[in-house]
Amino acid sequence: MTEKVLVTGADGFIGSHLVESLVRDGYEVRAFVYYNSFNSWGWLDDAASDVAGQFEVISGDIRDPHGVDSAVAGCDRVLHLAALIAIPFSYHAPDAYVQTNVTGTLNVLQAARRYNVQHLVCTSTSETYGTAQFVPITEEHPLNAQSPYAATKIGADQMALSFQRSFDMPVSVLRPFNTYGPRQSARAVIPTIIGQIAAGSRQIKLGALHPTRDFTFVRDTARGFIQAMNCGACIGEVTNIGSNFEISIGETVSLIAEAMGEEVEVVTEETRIRPAASEVERLFAGTAKAQRLFGWAPEFSGRQGFLQGLAETAVWFQDPTNLAHYKTDRYNI
């Protein structure tokens, strides 16, 4: 019998790719999207032709326990991605991050417990580790929130794990490092760079160039969710997924320019610089646990894999229809 999987945050970047992957894998999919008066389903409005119309959509608000309850009812598994994720905006609206990320996760946990969901996978973030104290960063690395966003994700993770320990719920936490790819929002650095180049600019406005990141292509991340969802050994565990590759923001600019066949100059803007103690300086994932528990490894791995993923992402952004979704001349927080 086909299993029904609920994806919260299905209208977003990773969520929309995950819905497509699940449908292609033969699952019955219910997509929980953020209600709005435009009746927009976010990126699911642009779902691939072989997937469009093959999933159920429920609109609601992750902060509303009643709406979340109705979305979870009848589902076998839940992949919880709904969250506020932009770090600079968390400086301005920390209360909204607590309501969405912590209380929203609590709502999903309560509903999953009520309906005896077979497995609930909650989405974490590499930002919970803060600047690497050792690399590669394993799941045993200390948690160190350097932004209100990271603090709320630590809170959500711990809430999820507490439900597993307190109620023996089948809950696990998946911790992706920096996911990138087509449809990513302009608040992230790779779309910021590609978008400016695609719009014709050769002076790229950025913040700090020295921090390093472990960029993971979105299809690898989506596959990680599906594999973790089907892994009984993951219950009660936190698992990293990353690309096995570390690169600075400055070097990333050079690789993107190379992939797009352009020469660019970087202009550092003060407004894009994060407070010094809030900037995560280094992220580099250890993924041995994911390999051991559910056989996951990145297909877009290392420098060559990163170049391949950047080229595919650039092609998507260079399509005028896609680029029109972005305000490349603005700093998107």
pLDDT in tens, 288-333: 999 999 999 999 999 999 999 999 999 999 999 999 999 999 999 8
pLDDT at residue 1 in the model: 63
pLDDT in tens, 187-197: 999 999 999 99
Are 8 and 62 in contact by the 8 Å Cβ rule? The answer is: yes
Q: What is the mean pLDDT of residues 174-192?
A: 97
Q: Are residues 174 and 33 in the same domain?
A: yes
Q: Are residues 141 and 261 in the same domain?
A: no
Please choose, from the candidates 236, 215, 242, the residue with its C-alpha nearest in 3D space to the C-alpha of residue 297: 242
Cα angle 27, 31, 37 (rounded to 5 degrees) comes to 160
Q: What is the mean pLDDT of residues 132-152?
A: 98
Please choose, from the candidates 204, 206, 211, the residue with its C-alpha nearest in 3D space to the C-alpha of residue 188: 206
The domain in which residue 257 lies consists of 184-213+245-282+300-323
Which pLDDT band, with edges at 50, 70 and 90, does 220 fall under?
very high
Q: Are residues 19 and 84 in the same domain?
A: yes
Q: What is the mean pLDDT of residues 142-152?
A: 98
Q: Are residues 145 and 256 in the same domain?
A: no
Spatial distance between the Cα atoms of 198 and 246, rounded to a whole number of angstroms: 25
Are 64 and 103 in contact by the 8 Å Cβ rule? The answer is: no
pLDDT in tens, 24-82: 999 999 999 999 999 999 999 999 999 999 999 999 999 999 999 999 999 999 999 99
Domain-located, residue 293: no
Are 24 and 13 in contact by the 8 Å Cβ rule? The answer is: no
Q: Which CATH number goes with the domain that contains 195?
A: 3.90.25.10
Average pLDDT, the chain: 97
Q: Are residues 256 and 174 in the same domain?
A: no
Spatial distance between the Cα atoms of 213 and 216, rounded to a whole number of angstroms: 9
Q: Are residues 41 and 75 in the same domain?
A: yes
Please choose, from the candidates 130, 96, 81, the residue with its C-alpha nearest in 3D space to the C-alpha of residue 274: 130
Domain-located, residue 292: no
Q: Are residues 134 and 266 in the same domain?
A: no
Q: Are residues 75 and 206 in the same domain?
A: no
Report CA Rg, the chain: 19
pLDDT in tens, 238-278: 999 999 899 999 999 999 999 999 999 999 999 999 999 99
Q: Are residues 207 and 72 in the same domain?
A: no
H or E element, residue 180: strand 178-180
Q: How many domains does the chain have?
A: 2
Domain-located, residue 67: yes
pLDDT at residue 97 in the model: 98
pLDDT at residue 11 in the model: 98
